[in-house]
């Protein structure tokens, strides 16, 4: 069934009738202060929005810390090391009982922007999977690639799981759960 095009002369007539009912033109002509007030309010709102936009443009640059959090599997303590290191790395307490390095990357979070030690928590630990073929990870997108070839676990767990597995995704989701006030956790960097 073909669509019927609207008859524009009737629509124009309806708009004119609506305009007359509102009698806006007559009010404007008899009360020019309305236009001046609306203009002033519009200018004030515009200036406020421009100021807010300018302030948002002045966002503080995030300092690029050259350090990352690492976790000593022997002592259960956090320490810092160069962020370019690939875990597992040597830890302050020495090697694991099996002779391997005891330092793994720790993802430390907090619900406040400038946390003290008691306000931080370890979301999960990460190390490289020694059995993973690097060539396979280069064929995927960035988000998928992050989890490939990495093993993660909670600080209290004993078993490492692939980050891109179902168990790995559950650990990640648990680490990033909002608190009782609905606030999302912040990743905290060492100072």
Q: What CA–CA distance (Å, rounded) separates 60 from 113?
A: 14
What mean pLDDT comes out for the span 179-188?
Answer: 89
Q: Record the tokens describing residue 86, joined without a space.
A: 């690939």
Q: What CA–CA distance (Å, rounded) separates 59 from 53?
A: 11
Q: What CA–CA distance (Å, rounded) separates 52 from 62?
A: 20
**Residue 182 C-alpha from the chain's centroid:** 14
Q: What CA–CA distance (Å, rounded) separates 28 from 97?
A: 87
What mean pLDDT comes out for the span 153-170?
Answer: 90
Residue with tokens 């929005």, as numbered in its chain:
49
Q: Record the tokens describing residue 55, joined without a space.
A: 């302030």
Q: How confident is the model at residue 189 (pLDDT cuts 50, 70, 90)?
A: confident
């Amino acid at each position: 069934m073909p669509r019927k095009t609207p008859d524009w002369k009737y629509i124009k007539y309806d708009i004119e009738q609506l305009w007359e009912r509102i009698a806006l033109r007559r009010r404007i002509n008899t009360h020019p202060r309305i236009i001046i007030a609306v203009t002033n309010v519009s200018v004030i709102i515009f200036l406020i929005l421009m100021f807010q936009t300018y302030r948002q443009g002045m966002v503080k640059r995030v300092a690029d810390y050259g350090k990352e959090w690492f976790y000593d599997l022997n002592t259960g303590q956090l320490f810092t090391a160069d962020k370019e290191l690939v875990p597992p790395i040597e830890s302050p307490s020495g090697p694991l009982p099996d002779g391997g390095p005891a330092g793994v990357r720790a993802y430390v979070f907090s619900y406040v922007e400038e946390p003290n030690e008691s306000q931080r928590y370890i979301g999960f630990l990460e190390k490289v999977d020694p059995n993973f073929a690097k060539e396979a990870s280069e064929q995927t997108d960035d988000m998928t690639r992050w989890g490939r070839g990495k093993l993660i676990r909670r600080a209290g767990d004993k078993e490492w799981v692939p980050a891109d597995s179902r168990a790995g995704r559950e650990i990640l989701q648990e680490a990033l759960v909002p608190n009782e006030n609905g606030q999302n956790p912040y990743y905290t960097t060492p100072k």
